[in-house]
Amino acid sequence: MIRIVVVISMLVGLFSLGPSTIGWTADGKSSRLTIVSPIQGAVIKGDSVQVQYKLSKSTDATHIHCYVDGEYQRAFAGVVKGLTRGTHEIKLVAASHNHDSLGAEAVVTIEVE
C-alpha cells in the first residue's frame, strides 16, 4: 500500500511540472553551436586562424557573430586575422536575422606563436 502511494505521489509530481520537462525533445527555437577547429589550447603559427564551426540553425538562428578577446570581428568570414603573439579567446555566438544574440555560444582559447 505504501508503494502505491509513493508511486502515485511521484507521478503527480512529474505531471505537475508540465509536459515540457518530460522526455528529450528539443525546443524548435534552440540552436547548438560548436567550434570544430581550432581545438582548445591549439598553438597557432602566424597571425591568422581559420575557425570552423557547426551551427544547427533554428527558426531564429541564421548566422554567427565572432569575438576575439571580447572584441566583435566585423565581416567575419571564417578566418580571424591580425592575431598578435600570446593567448587569445575566440567566441562564436548564434545570432538572428536582426543580429540579436540567441544564447547559443562556443568558446576556444588558443596560443599564437
For 28-72, give the secondary structure using H, E and C. Answer: CCCCEEEEEECCCCCEECCCCEECEEEEECCCCEEEEEEEECCEE
pTM: 0.70
pLDDT tens per residue, range 20-45: 322 222 233 577 899 999 999 999 99
pLDDT tens per residue, range 41-84: 999 999 999 999 998 866 677 788 999 999 999 988 999 999 99
Q: Where do the domains of the chain lie, and which CATH numbers do they carry?
A: 26-112 (2.60.40.10)
Rounded to the nearest 10 degrees, how much is the dihedral formed by the CA atoms of 66, 69, 70, 73?
-30
